[in-house]
């Protein structure tokens, strides 16, 4: 079981009809999380049959390689590395070592590991010196690779912050300041990563470029996507992927959110130098450094959504609407989701079931204006409650919205659930959702109501998942 406060979320004081929906959706969440365990995704993707390494449509003769190097980072990369190590040890015919950057606070049971892959704990979402030191070690490993070397790069969400390597002339403090401004700006992940890539000597394909400097190793990137649309160059800022963005775009994004003049002067100078072509652009798809690079997405929120859909249907719940690529401002999407509910209510007589489920995936953004504790999914749910607070509720409903890595925003929750019982509780406590919403204080609201979902870091990282159920009986 992933959910640590399950008993609190399913306490005996909850009305039976609401309790039934809560049990179903919490079980749905457990199954969705199981479907995107990094161990399972690596196990399915990486096959060694005799001496042949098979990954998707790729087949390589492992006897052609003298050694294997494993590098990378992200919230799920620790568990990815652990399973890859098991596979390589079982094969037993190729030496390997490596280093992976993973978040501080993530629990790793390494008693059975060989120690050939080092787990380096670094800070997320604000990068730190430990992250830089880990990347330096990775660069040392790949610097002298040759045509006979095989590099596995394990990438998952969170890699942008966990794999910091400032361009020459930048400090870690500069990166932190830029990152903090970006996270508070309301910029989306594509825009944020375009800027990060142009201030990094590792991201935006620059890892592949560095590995190509003294030889032509084969690089296999195994990627778990946490971005809307699964764009390879966006996930962890694409260290082994040709970059489609430019210095000019990075500058324009900063100006769009009125923070170009607020970022450190060193960062401004780097971006302007790149724009003036005084320093090289990030490598593009025609660069020969990518000729022996293979990038594969081995898992995404789609795996979780399909598992959720399957379990809902097993419980005789009709899944009428699946929306991918949810994006936009969290407090605005609360009203959007309410309108989706209303559409279902207006069509309820046409359904073959008395329970209807809506499934959505994506990643919302939060423009921080207050000083509260919260996260994007909790803010969306709080916005939903604020939008519905003056309406008469004549049906039973439940919405669950979560960040599947286990932690969101500056809270310790992965998200929250709301239902009819939530509305009763906050009204009995004389709480006003709009006050909490104004201060970006969604987690405090849900903590008071005991409706936050607690798992802690769980080594999983894909897009966020939103599931709503309407019950008409």
In sequence order, which residues have a C-beta less than 8 Å from that of residue 419 and are 6 or more positions away?
18, 21, 22, 396, 397, 398, 399
Say what the pLDDT of residue 115 is. Answer: 83
pTM: 0.85
Residue-level length of the chain: 473
The residue assigned the tokens 């969440």 is 29
Say what the pLDDT of residue 323 is. Answer: 67
Q: What is the CA 388 to chain-centroid distance, rounded?
A: 29
Say what the pLDDT of residue 473 is. Answer: 77
- Greatest C-alpha distance within the chain: 70
Q: Which residues of the chain have pLDDT under 50?
A: none
Say what the pLDDT of residue 119 is. Answer: 93
- Give the single-character DSSP code of 75: S
Say what the pLDDT of residue 157 is. Answer: 83
Which CATH superfamily includes the segment(s) 6-36+301-471? MOFRL domain (3.40.1480.10)
- Which H or E element spans position 310? helix 301-314
Say what the pLDDT of residue 306 is. Answer: 94
Task: Compute the chain's Rg from CA coordinates.
Answer: 23
CATH fold group of domain 38-165+200-245+282-299:
Rossmann fold (3.40.50)
Q: What is the CA 361 to chain-centroid distance, rounded?
A: 11
Say what the pLDDT of residue 109 is. Answer: 63
Q: Are 378 and 443 in contact (CB under 8 A)?
A: yes
Q: Are 454 and 412 in contact (CB under 8 A)?
A: yes
Say what the pLDDT of residue 158 is. Answer: 84
- What is the domain partition of the chain in residue ranges? 6-36+301-471, 38-165+200-245+282-299
Complete edge-to-edge strand list for the sheet that includes strand 355-362: 318-326, 355-362, 464-471, 396-402, 415-419, 452-453
Say what the pLDDT of residue 117 is. Answer: 94
Say what the pLDDT of residue 111 is. Answer: 53
The tokens for 91 are 């094969």
Note the helical H segments in 330-439.
330-346, 376-388, 420-428, 433-438
Q: How many CB atoms lie within 10 A of CB 459?
A: 23
Say what the pLDDT of residue 318 is. Answer: 92
């Amino acid at each position: 079981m992933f959910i640590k406060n399950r008993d609190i979320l399913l306490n005996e004081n909850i009305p039976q009809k609401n309790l039934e929906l809560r049990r179903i959706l919490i079980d749905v969440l457990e199954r969705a999380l199981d479907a995107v365990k990094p161990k399972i995704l690596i196990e399915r993707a990486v096959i060694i049959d005799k001496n042949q390494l098979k990954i998707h449509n790729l087949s390589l003769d492992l006897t052609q390689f003298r050694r294997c190097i494993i590098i990378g980072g992200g919230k799920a990369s620790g568990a990815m590395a652990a399973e890859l190590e098991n596979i390589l040890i079982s094969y037993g015919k190729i030496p390997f070592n490596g280093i992976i950057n993973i978040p501080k606070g993530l629990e790793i049971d390494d008693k059975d590991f060989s120690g050939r892959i080092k787990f380096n704990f670094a800070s997320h979402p604000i990068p730190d010196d430990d992250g830089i030191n880990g990347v330096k070690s990775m660069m040392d490993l790949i610097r002298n690779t040759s045509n006979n070397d095989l590099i596995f790069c394990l990438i998952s969400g969170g890699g942008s912050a966990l794999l910091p390597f400032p361009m020459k002339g930048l400090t870690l403090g500069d990166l932190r300041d830029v990152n903090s401004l970006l996270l508070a700006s309301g910029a989306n992940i594509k825009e944020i990563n375009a800027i990060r890539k142009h201030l990094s000597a590792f991201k935006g394909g620059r890892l592949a470029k560095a590995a190509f400097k003294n030889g032509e190793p084969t690089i296999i990137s195994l990627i778990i996507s946490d971005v809307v649309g699964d764009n390879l160059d966006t996930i962890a800022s694409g260290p082994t992927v040709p970059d489609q963005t430019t210095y000019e775009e990075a500058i324009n994004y900063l100006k769009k959110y009125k923070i170009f003049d607020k970022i450190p002067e060193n960062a401004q100078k780097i971006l302007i130098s790149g724009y003036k072509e005084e320093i090289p652009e990030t490598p593009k798809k025609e660069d020969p450094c990518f000729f022996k690079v293979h990038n594969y997405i081995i898992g995404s929120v789609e795996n979780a959504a399909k598992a959720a859909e399957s379990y809902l249907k097993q419980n005789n719940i009709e899944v009428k609407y699946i929306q991918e690529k949810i994006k936009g401002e969290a407090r605005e999407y609360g009203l959007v989701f309410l309108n989706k509910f209303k559409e279902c209510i207006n069509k309820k007589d046409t359904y073959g079931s008395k329970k209807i489920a809506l499934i959505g995936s994506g990643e919302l953004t939060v423009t921080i204006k207050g000083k509260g504790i919260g996260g994007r999914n909790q803010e969306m749910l709080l916005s939903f409650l604020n939008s519905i607070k003056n309406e008469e509720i004549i049906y039973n409903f439940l919405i669950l919205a979560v960040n599947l890595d286990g932690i969101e925003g500056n809270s310790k929750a992965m998200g929250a659930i709301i239902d009819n019982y939530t509305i009763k509780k906050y009204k009995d406590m004389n709480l006003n959702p709009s006050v909490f919403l104004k201060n970006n204080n969604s987690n405090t609201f849900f903590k008071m109501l005991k409706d936050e979902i607690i798992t802690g870091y769980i080594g999983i990282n894909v897009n966020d998942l939103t599931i709503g159920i309407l019950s008409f009986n």
